[in-house]
Amino acid sequence: MAHGSGSNCPSVWHKNYPVAQGNRQSPIDIVPHQALHDPSLGPVVLNYDQCTSMNITNNGHSVVVQFDDSDDRSVIQGGPLDNPYRLKQFHFHWGEKGCHGSEHTVAGNSYASELHLVHWNAVKYKTFGEAATAPDGLAVLGIFLETGDDHRWLHVITDALYMVKFKVSTTVNCFNPKCLLPSSLHYWTYLGSLTTPPLHESVIWIVLREPIIVSEKQLGKFRMLLFTGEEEDQRIRMENNFRPPQPLKGRKVRSSI
């Protein structure tokens, strides 16, 4: 859970963002046996072929890699989506040790971290900001990270983290997030929300069942990031930047499996 001072603690968000207690909040606990297998759900298709990554930023909540979303070069489509959604950014959530740190849980079990690839519906909406407030505006692909061997491509990100220890941004060369996908694209999908304020209920969630494996050493590099800026005298390590599971409120989770 995002601990720490005042506003970045999930349990008080509802005071400024009443939607925090809404009917389609994220994350949730995914219970595989209660998920509805829906044969009409086709495969998720990721066309990340063009490399359009621009910068990596410590935004004080997470570390975010942002993409040029001025055209449909990098899109996700298929699965529960009615049209292609444009890749805007990806970021991570993690804990302070062991296997806590993911936002979604599976049958009550959490993973060490969770990667979110954020896409927006540029067919129906003119801007990301507009899409972020629409019920079908965003599609976030969630990928669990489990500790084990080194992930050979995650190095490109973790080796750059020292440059964004404080709340700063730096450019990255072409980084194609396709290399962060597990071998199986089997997924669960449900209607949910942003997991940090403003918590808009605008996300079609697609959570992959298979985690990717990263080393403890690579994860440790996320934990040396700071929530605070260089000018601040307090140095607060960036960890536990995850929201706990929220009530399902009658929603159905469908599975492609």
Residues designated catalytic: 61
Distance CA(75)–CA(50), nearest Å, equals 10
The SS3 call for residue 157 is helix
Q: Which is nearer to ligand 7QY, 62 or 105 (CB)?
A: 62
In the complex, least distance from residue 57 CB atom to Zn ion, rounded to whole angstroms: 14
Site for Zn ion in 162-201 (CB under 5 A): none
In the complex, least distance from residue 195 CB atom to ligand 7QY, rounded to whole angstroms: 4
Judged by CB under 5 A, the number of residues near Zn ion is: 1
In the complex, least distance from residue 62 CB atom to Zn ion, rounded to whole angstroms: 7
Whole-angstrom CA distances from 17 to 104, 157, 161 are 21, 32, 31
Q: Which is nearer to ligand 7QY, 116 or 167 (CB)?
A: 116
Distance CA(170)–CA(42), nearest Å, equals 37
241 closest CA partner among 142, 101, 54, 120 = 101
Name the CA radius of gyration of the chain, rounded. 17
Residues within the interface to ligand 7QY (CB under 6 A): 62, 116, 118, 132, 140, 194-196
Torsion sign, CA atoms 119, 120, 122, 128: negative
Could you tell which of ligand 7QY, Zn ion, none binds residue 132, using a CB distance below 5 to 8 A set by kind?
ligand 7QY
In the complex, least distance from residue 90 CB atom to Zn ion, rounded to whole angstroms: 9
Burial letters 63-75, b for 16+ CB under 10 A, else e: bbbbbebeeebbb
Chosen residue from 24, 116, 221, 243 binding Zn ion by CB under 5 A: 116
Q: Which residues pair with 215 in a beta bridge?
A: none
Could you tell which of ligand 7QY, Zn ion, none binds residue 194, using a CB distance below 5 to 8 A set by kind?
ligand 7QY
Distance of CA 51 to the CA centre of its chain: 19
Q: Which is nearer to ligand 7QY, 58 or 195 (CB)?
A: 195
Binding piece for Zn ion, criterion CB under 5 A, among 12-20, 40-48, 78-86, 110-118: 110-118
Residues that bind Zn ion (CB under 5 A): 116
